[in-house]
Structure 1
């Protein structure tokens, strides 16, 4: 089993202790050369990953033993760096450990591999002081931390190092016996907030005692409270994989443990739900930071989207946590190919990633201000998110300034922007127009499933369909002549990550009632009331106009109602009554809770049924004004409660001008997912790959030139005639 947590933390957890502090001497060690070596070996695929894994083992084995044989332990890794702690004021052991680590790099600093020679160098900082520790999280998923002057001090000492040097501060030098070590000042007179001077360690005039320290192992039940069993017992396999790295920095004005526990526990719960990996929690003199991965050790096809969704949900939810009103945070996100695997040896190691991407996420975080999330230009191509260009900034390792963007939020469904000509799909578009004809006669048109693999063009088809509806003429009467079709198009966006009950319908009704989560509650209530009143007024207008038709029978009015298929007056009155009764329920549904609401006092089952009834009738009310097209984006991710709502919406609605259209991906086994709604007319459209002639039109539009037959045939094979692969240039 891999020791992914310190033995000290294991023992404290076993004794049900959660916090404490002690005096310690400390080491911070940072290796340079791993990142360029990683980037070079990436070019060699699996063989390169094996070479890198071997180098990691060869380097870390002696330096980890150098810590543990002298009674210390590694509190945490930071990629190719780590912090080690020696309990008490054992100043000599920390110096001997530092010297042993330095000797390792003198002997093995040049790593010779079949893909070239790589030079690795080390910088070592030593200090002493308080070490505070804590264990936070839930019973099923915990994490731990160390912080304090002793932890900050060794990192500060390392900042004064040149490669190959060991630097200690004045505090540690004062603890050492006289005439035992040889040191020389670093930058004499340099002032620091903790101590006055730093010193370069050159020699130790003492003999070490026996190095055979007792090293015990972890127990699986305790270790599983921090990391999944599959990771603890995994085979040591390193690999190159695409990972989204999220680096978060935060500050809490209060240093009490309660606020930190609430914040970190919330992060862990959310990551467990979203499929992310909580790598570590660190503290320095400028606050805390967290490193989070999406794509390692478990990968998903939408790891970048999950990372962006994670920080957006974090931003929204933290606004509602009064306990964290004094929290400041910022983040950087970078996606790229990285080495993912164990760093260290079974005695003490960490599952992490190495590569430019993880380093760049930290640099993006440092460049951002509080409350901001920075990304690079490559992420701005994601269709579901909004970004703002913050400027072109200089970053370490780049000669030119790099365009940098701030993540602003989710892009509303229907805001997708498409470039280039739309190719093919004419028959499918014609079928969609045929399927919706009943709604213009006041009838329910059933369900339409649009199936296709990722990138095949389902969303583009729906975009073009909507555009064509809004510009197309319907009907033959003079009333409709040169009149655009008038429909209410509702986009329900499912969420593959946060599959909360009714979330697509909450989303669309928030838009309908002009709700913005960041606005004050009073503003949201005022907007909801105004929109609700407007809807009831529109229903009243329909009722009054119907009464006018019955009394006067004017030809023009008769013609209007004949063509629009207005509902009978009694049916409209029922809709109005339901709206009056459902106002509080719908307000609560979109997050506007009413005090002393009668609905809050009902049982859970009755509240659930009332909610479905109320939401169904708000859509019926909309359809009484104009025909409704309810488009469910990515219906394969629809939650069970939303499916229950759909089943209710399709019951007893024969004379409601509504149609439900959903685009879905195939299941993993190739079968077609559905909402399992019976007794309702259902239509199916399947989007297949483009034909050869259609693909040629698309490629020539993309490249702005004619293509040869040979290139055309090659691209047809490489892209599988999938429009997304053509647009992204996935041709290799």
Structure 2
């Protein structure tokens, strides 16, 4: 990856004098894409005293002369300075320049007419389109290295004796250029009306390596004016929703027949689950785009920073993964989202990915394997564990005491389990679930008259950070409970929903509750995205419709709890949306005779946003029905027991001491560190059991930054 940093510095070294030349001749940069840029040289408009055709033609010729001179000087500069030296050796650069003329329009793609509404987010991007850019990109594919190609129209505007050229098919190859001294530039006044030429404000944003998801989106054509307003709102809404960064908007090459977007996740700001956010963005954009599109997506280490010159800078990323994403998008079929093998391996079970065969990419000697991203799976199962729980017996006992309320047909209240990422919250919940399962089995074996109430039902309701829809965790629960399959059609899913709901209605002995459950049918269906004819619901005001949704969910939970004691597990509640928080508050009122319990797991807050989220969660809990459990780091004895099980043998005290210092009592980090030791052959068997074969001060400190991307995402 060091090569990406060198590449970024090389491009800056090469581009700086080239961009200075553009601005020196009165042009300005409109697009910077990797190793290429597009510049525009506007005509100087005639003033009130220069209205005749001759003067207008002179201004037009002036722009052509300035563009041709800049093109020639750029080509000459690279031709005379082709070699760049680095610590990796020397590299030869060449350049091709194409010049075309015609109309160029500029515009804004923006989120709304009131940019202040998204003051802290990206809310607009400027773009340039038109005949001149289109024709310039067409010439580019025929222009050889170290050459300047012009259209015939451009060459006709130039003094032939000063700009000699030879015909190459329909184009002209410029052989030399000399500026006509008698002709005034008139450049600065023209360009300042379009783009100020003051140098870009200095920013101390140094380049750095980041784990970056790169997303190239290519549209088959620009959307219609009728769809433009809606899609612009949707585009920036999705970028904001999934925390992406839009780096480029416009055409980037001859093969780009429509428009290309370049987006990054992980730079300039990184978030947890950047890859999953990028994947979710790609899927939702494909589903809502008004024009056919194709997407190339990679996730790898890249060098991120500012590119360009003092006059024009853009934040972007460099690296083989960025180049790979660009190659993928241009070979994808319309409607496809292509992943590289490394990214496909990191996707995990939350998305459906299949092999897409082998394709030939520009710059690669052999065909490259690709994978197709299809959809996000609705059902995410609760995690399971093989290693034993250690150091949490006291917390498990406290949670089990709260569970006892359910067997007395009482509301169990709320248990809040908090702690840092990887500390063992999910492992503790899994232990509680297994404990209740074993208890139910023992009760059924011990009493012939025992019924189904001896077992406890679990509703796993994870908060999906990448899909923060209102009531997101309960939408997930509904899909699981009613057996919904995203790969099947709505008709089959609807039949499965009705059958399961009918069974529950018939099993509900409280007739009033059963009738309420029957009335909830259309509202539950709509929460799962199932079409359901309900003329009454369509006439309701939004607030009344929302109340019916919440009441339908509460009715369903009360009905299920009459059949089984019920634990509702809200996982990752630090991402909880406001609507779910409101519903949880409503759910815990007037349920004294309903045997269910809310189990909420969440991260310890580390910033203002998370602290506010934690406050919102605490606010739903009345003091008389809340039990808060904060998980502290594991002590050395607990880590000792964990190491014995993980390494399958006795463990020396010296190893435990190093493990405690390196992991700081975090269970997940401790397991990853031991995995690293084992796979790196750093363990020896000694008199006291497993020990480290190197001294503690020689051991590479393995903390979160040294772990894999999957390991760091906990």
What TM-score comes out, normalization by structure 2 length?
Answer: 0.76
Q: Distance in 1 between matches of 2:580 and 2:33?
A: 43
The one of 325, 329, 335 equivalent to 1:361 is 325
Aligned residue runs from structure 1 range 481-500, under 5 A: 486-500=455-469
Pair 580,384 (structure 1): closer, same or farther in 2 beyond 3 Å: same
Aligned residue runs from structure 1 range 84-233, under 5 A: 84-87=39-42, 90-106=63-79, 109-111=82-84, 120-137=93-110, 138-139=112-113, 140=115, 141-169=123-151, 172-173=154-155, 176-183=158-165, 196-197=169-170, 200-204=173-177, 207=180, 209-211=183-185, 213-214=187-188
Whether the 8 Å contact between 1:423 and 1:694 is mirrored in structure 2 is no
Whether the 8 Å contact between 1:623 and 1:657 is mirrored in structure 2 is yes
Aligned residue runs from structure 1 range 625-644, under 5 A: 625-644=563-582
Asked if 1:687 is matched to 2:687, the reply is no
The one of 594, 605, 613 equivalent to 1:656 is 594
Deviations 1:114-136, CA, capped at 9 Å, x for gaps: 89766544332333445454433
Whether the 8 Å contact between 1:491 and 1:632 is mirrored in structure 2 is yes
Per-residue deviation at 1:339? Answer: 3.3
Q: Distance in 2 between matches of 1:629 and 1:311?
A: 35
Relative to structure 2, which stretch is displaced further, 614-623 or 597-606? 597-606
Q: Distance in 1 between matches of 2:295 and 2:124?
A: 22
Per-residue deviation at 1:292? Answer: 1.0
Q: What residue ranges of structure 1 are gaps of 5+ in the alignment?
A: 1-34, 42-51, 187-195, 224-231, 319-323, 544-571
Q: What residue ranges of structure 2 are gaps of 5+ in the alignment?
A: 43-59, 116-122, 677-701, 707-714
Asked if 1:386 is matched to 2:351, the reply is yes
Secondary structure of the residue that 2:233 maps to in structure 1? helix
Relative to structure 2, which stretch is displaced further, 271-280 or 343-352? 343-352
Per-residue deviation at 1:378? Answer: 4.1
Per-residue deviation at 1:199? Answer: 5.2
The one of 606, 610, 616 equivalent to 1:668 is 606
Aligned residue runs from structure 1 range 280-429, under 5 A: 280-283=248-251, 285-318=256-289, 324=290, 327-379=291-343, 380-383=345-348, 385-390=350-355, 393=358, 404-412=370-378, 414-415=380-381, 421-422=387-388, 424=390, 427=393, 428-429=395-396
Partner of 1:80: 35
Asked if 1:580 is matched to 2:547, the reply is no
Pair 617,417 (structure 1): closer, same or farther in 2 beyond 3 Å: closer
Number of equivalent positions: 631
Q: Distance in 2 between matches of 1:402 and 1:714?
A: 43
Whether the 8 Å contact between 2:415 and 2:599 is mirrored in structure 1 is yes
Q: Distance in 1 between matches of 2:207 and 2:657?
A: 34
Per-residue deviation at 1:103? Answer: 3.0
Pair 465,349 (structure 1): closer, same or farther in 2 beyond 3 Å: same
Deviations 1:409-435, CA, capped at 9 Å, x for gaps: 334554366676345256245554443
Per-residue deviation at 1:333? Answer: 1.9
Secondary structure of the residue that 1:415 maps to in structure 2? coil
Deviations 1:420-472, CA, capped at 9 Å, x for gaps: 63452562455544432332332221111122211223234434544554455
Pair 698,199 (structure 1): closer, same or farther in 2 beyond 3 Å: farther
Secondary structure of the residue that 2:606 maps to in structure 1? coil
What TM-score comes out, normalization by structure 1 length?
Answer: 0.75
Pair 256,600 (structure 1): closer, same or farther in 2 beyond 3 Å: closer
Whether the 8 Å contact between 1:165 and 1:201 is mirrored in structure 2 is yes
Whether the 8 Å contact between 2:354 and 2:373 is mirrored in structure 1 is no
Q: Distance in 1 between matches of 2:248 and 2:436?
A: 52
Secondary structure of the residue that 1:631 maps to in structure 2? strand
Partner of 1:259: 227
Per-residue deviation at 1:372? Answer: 2.8
Q: Distance in 1 between matches of 2:189 and 2:267?
A: 30
Partner of 1:615: 553
Relative to structure 2, which stretch is displaced further, 91-100 or 258-267? 258-267
Partner of 1:549: none
Q: Structure with the greater relative contact order (CA < 8 A, sep ≥ 6): 1 or 2?
A: 1
Relative to structure 2, which stretch is displaced further, 352-361 or 118-127? 118-127
Secondary structure of the residue that 2:504 maps to in structure 1? helix
Whether the 8 Å contact between 1:425 and 1:461 is mirrored in structure 2 is no
Q: Distance in 1 between matches of 2:278 and 2:593?
A: 44
Q: Distance in 1 between matches of 2:656 and 2:361?
A: 41
Partner of 1:70: 25
